[in-house]
């Protein structure tokens, strides 16, 4: 029973990370139809920003975290401006491939400017201390992951429901032209979407880095693939779907870590993708996605 509770929290905390990443993907996708393959590199940006600052002598974890979050948000805005704006009205395949190119650029920049080998970022490792709660062993990080994610999602809901630009973003998911006719600036709506997606990714990134304690140029690839899977699972473009998909993925992953013997550890990721494939066969539109027939006016 103890074990079960510990693993359940584990599933929640890993799922929370995927949810944050998946939410960022879904926001950008719903507003401008871009499948942002470079989203995972935001994790790398956060990691290398922290690494660079730590190397220059800033050791206060809190300052590092704030700096990393600011950098990622800024990078997201810059990328939107220089790479994704030219392909905004292009077919979705073009956007996908552009994002994929941006991802390759960022990975190789890390590789070129720092090192192809992993680097240690130990500043956040204090979060991995275990605490004793009613006889169970948890790490501070797990509570932080669940708590911060909940707060972030609540904040996002408030932003989308309570502010004018949030309303514009929700409307843009349905009909961007009308949003522009109402006098909202397209650039501002899309830039806000990117900023939010970067901010959420940076929170997830900090948890990833705290768990691993190290960074490497290609660390963003697998998390973003899983975030994609979470999005597809929940129904691509649906925000609640992204959260549900992310949590589900976290649970599946923890379940596999527990169930698969060490000899088959290499199959962990493969099994996750296999299970997801199986779910998609029976529900191609995802869990919360609505079935869209060809020619439906509202997609």
Partner 1 sequence: MNTIAFAERTRGGRPFLDARLAGNLRGALWLALIAAAIGLFVMAFGSPFIVRLTATAFINLIAVVGLQIFMGNSNVVNIGHAGFMALGAYFTAIFATPVMIKATMIPNAPFGLAGVEVGALYAFLISVGLTSLIGLLSGLVLVRLAGIAATILTISILVIVQGVLVTWTDLFRGAQAFFGIPKVVGLGLIVAAAAAVLVVARLFKGSRAGVQLRASATDPLAAEAMGVDVKRLRLVAWVLGSAVVGCAGALYALYAGTINARAFYFHTAFLTLAMSIVGGMRSVTGAMVGVALLTVLLELIRIVEGGITVFGIAFPEMLGLSGLMLGVIIVGVMCFRSDGFMGGHEIEEVVTALRRRLVARKREA
Give the span between the Cα atoms of 260 and 56, in whole angstroms: 43
Assigned token pair, 220: 């963003």
Give the span between the Cα atoms of 15 and 13, in whole angstroms: 5
Among 195, 225, 287, 288, binds partner 1 (CB under 8 A): 225
Give the span between the Cα atoms of 199 and 45, in whole angstroms: 12
Give the span between the Cα atoms of 162 and 269, in whole angstroms: 39
Instruction: Tell me whether residue 1 or residue 299 sits nearer to partner 1 (CB atom).
Output: 299
Give the span between the Cα atoms of 89 and 94, in whole angstroms: 9
* Minimum distance from residue 250 beta carbon to partner 1 (Å): 17
Answer yes or no: are the C-beta atoms of 190 and 80 closer than 8 Å: yes
Strands, E, within 166-262: which ranges? Answer: 214-215
* Minimum distance from residue 92 beta carbon to partner 1 (Å): 7
**HSE, side-chain direction, 13 A CA sphere, residue 287:** 20
- Residue 21, interface with partner 1 (CB under 8 A)? no
Segment (H or E) for 120: strand 119-120
* Minimum distance from residue 130 beta carbon to partner 1 (Å): 31
Query: Interface residues for partner 1 in 73-102 (CB under 8 A)?
Result: 83, 86-87, 90-94, 96-98, 100-102
Among 111, 148, 191, 287, binds partner 1 (CB under 8 A): 111
Assigned token pair, 254: 């923890």
Rg of the Cα trace of the chain? Answer: 19
Among 7, 271, 287, 288, binds partner 1 (CB under 8 A): 271
Length of the chain: 299
* Minimum distance from residue 294 beta carbon to partner 1 (Å): 5
Segment (H or E) for 164: helix 164-174
Instruction: Tell me whether residue 69 or residue 226 sits nearer to partner 1 (CB atom).
Output: 226
* Minimum distance from residue 111 beta carbon to partner 1 (Å): 3
User: Which segment (47-55, 208-216, 249-257, 277-285) binds partner 1 by CB under 8 A?
Assistant: 277-285
Instruction: Tell me whether residue 91 or residue 122 sits nearer to partner 1 (CB atom).
Output: 91
* Minimum distance from residue 278 beta carbon to partner 1 (Å): 9
Query: Interface residues for partner 1 in 244-263 (CB under 8 A)?
Result: 263
Task: Name the residue among 199, 53, 44 with its Cα closest to residue 109.
Answer: 44
Instruction: Tell me whether residue 92 or residue 130 sits nearer to partner 1 (CB atom).
Output: 92
Footprint on this chain of partner 1 (rule: CB under 8 A): 35, 83, 86-87, 90-94, 96-98, 100-112, 116, 217, 221, 225, 228-229, 232, 236, 263-271, 273-274, 276-277, 280-281, 284, 286, 294-295
């Amino acid at each position: 029973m103890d074990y079960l509770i510990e693993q359940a929290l584990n599933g929640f905390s890993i799922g929370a990370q995927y949810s944050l990443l998946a939410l960022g993907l879904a926001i950008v996708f719903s507003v401008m139809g871009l499948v942002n393959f470079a989203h995972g590199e935001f994790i790398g940006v956060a990691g290398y920003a922290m690494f660079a600052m730590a190397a220059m002598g800033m050791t206060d974890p809190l300052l590092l975290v704030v700096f990393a979050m600011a950098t990622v948000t800024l990078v997201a805005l810059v990328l939107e401006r220089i790479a994704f704006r030219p392909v905004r009205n292009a077919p979705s395949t073009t956007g996908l491939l552009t994002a994929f190119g941006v991802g390759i650029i960022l990975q190789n920049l890390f590789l070129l400017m720092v090192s192809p080998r992993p680097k240690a970022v130990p500043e956040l490792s204090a979060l991995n201390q275990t605490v004793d709660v009613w006889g169970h062993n948890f790490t501070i990080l797990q509570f932080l992951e669940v708590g911060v994610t909940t707060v972030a999602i609540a904040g996002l809901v408030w932003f989308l429901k309570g502010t004018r630009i949030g309303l514009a973003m929700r409307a843009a998911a349905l009909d961007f032209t009308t949003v522009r006719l109402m006098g909202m600036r397209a650039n501002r709506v899309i830039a806000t979407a990117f900023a939010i997606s970067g901010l959420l990714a940076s929170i997830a990134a900090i948890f990833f880095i705290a768990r691993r304690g190290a960074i490497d140029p290609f660390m963003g690839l697998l998390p973003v693939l899983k975030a994609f899977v979470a999005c597809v699972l929940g129904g691509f473009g649906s925000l609640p779907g992204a959260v549900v998909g992310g949590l589900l993925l976290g649970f599946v992953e923890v379940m596999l870590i527990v169930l698969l013997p060490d000899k088959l550890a290499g199959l962990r990721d493969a099994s996750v993708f296999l299970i997801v494939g199986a779910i998609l066969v029976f529900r191609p539109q995802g869990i919360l996605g609505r079935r869209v027939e060809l020619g439906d006016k509202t997609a």
